[in-house]
């Protein structure tokens, strides 16, 4: 006479199934408010350093919430964070990084190393895992920082997945809903274009970045793009070994018009 199979020791889920019981399930209500999302951001290396850019649109479902979001945040004088995902979570991460980097600098009388900064952001993303797994707090950022362990010092680009895995990009990275288009153009320009992104001057890099956003906006409604006639520009910041510089709207307008700017 055969005996019923015994559940494996410790297999609680199997035991519940055999007892015709089910684990409780939590589901988000279908009529809940749409979550605000911020996209698109990217960074690439040019002749003078790294240009990090983001459009200024935030959406909630099919609703445009605003076209005035600053998605590239200066963490300290040698670090930039570009946010894609839920702004509330991302901006809180930026504030935590700003505070912790400054506390370390003041308490240790020296800045935090680039590897430590990269791991600090990875830790915040891992701590955000419960919200990310629920789909209500996903952040997929880009990070750029200056590596002072080499001579001369070099700015570097890093990208992450929502759970905190970190990767160093060689020459470019992108995140957000318009990132597919932007990565494709960057890859083509790097392999076949002239000048290549790493050979571009600052005016050329600014013009190229704005055109990338304009192209991405044509294929992705969540990307705000650039519209000089409506005074709608991007957030552009430059990271050099010597520090951070913001590209003003006047400089962006001059770059699109094909004139040099200071």
Q: Kindly list the catalytic residues.
A: 39
d(CA 206, CA 73): 18
Instruction: Pull the structure tokens for residue 211.
Output: 């055109």
Is residue 48 within 8 A of residue 240, CB to CB? The reply is yes
Query: Over the range 6-45, which residues count as b (16 or more CB within 10 Å of their CB) and which as e?
Result: eeeeeeeeeeeeeeeeeeeeeeeeeeeeebbbbbbbbbbb
Cβ neighbours of 110 (radius 10 Å)? 9
Structural tokens at position 197: 């992104």
CA–CA gap between residue 4 and residue 67 (Å, rounded): 63
Complete edge-to-edge strand list for the sheet that includes strand 166-169: 72-76, 79-82, 142-147, 154-160, 166-169
User: Do residues 80 and 58 touch, judged by C-beta distance below 8 A?
Assistant: no
Residues 253 and 260: their CA atoms lie apart, in Å, by 10
């Amino acid at each position: 006479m055969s005996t019923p199979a015994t559940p494996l020791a410790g297999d609680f889920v199997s035991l519940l199934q055999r007892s015709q019981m089910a684990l409780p399930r939590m589901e988000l209500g279908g009529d809940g408010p749409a979550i605000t999302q911020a996209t698109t951001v990217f960074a690439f290396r040019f002749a003078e350093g790294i240009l990090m850019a983001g459009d200024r649109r935030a959406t909630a479902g099919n609703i445009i919430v605003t076209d005035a979001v600053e998605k590239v945040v200066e963490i300290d004088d040698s670090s930039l964070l570009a946010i894609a995902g839920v702004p509330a979570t991302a901006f809180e991460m930026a504030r935590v990084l700003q505070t912790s980097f400054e506390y370390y600098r003041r308490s240790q009388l020296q800045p935090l190393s680039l590897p430590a900064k990269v791991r600090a952001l990875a830790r915040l993303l891992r701590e955000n895992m419960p919200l990310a797994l629920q789909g209500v707090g996903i952040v997929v950022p880009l990070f750029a920082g200056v590596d002072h362990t080499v001579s001369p010092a070099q700015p570097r680009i890093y990208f992450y997945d929502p759970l905190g895995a970190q990767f160093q990009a060689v020459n470019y990275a992108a995140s957000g809903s318009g990132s597919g288009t932007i990565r494709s153009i960057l890859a083509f320009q790097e392999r076949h274009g002239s000048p290549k992104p790493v050979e571009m001057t600052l005016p050329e890099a600014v013009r190229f970045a704005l055109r990338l956003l304009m192209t991405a906006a044509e294929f992705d409604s969540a990307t705000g793009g650039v519209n000089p006639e409506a005074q709608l520009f991007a957030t552009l910041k430059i990271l050099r070994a010597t520090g951070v510089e913001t590209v003003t709207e006047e400089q962006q307008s001059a770059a699109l018009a094909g004139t040099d700017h200071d």
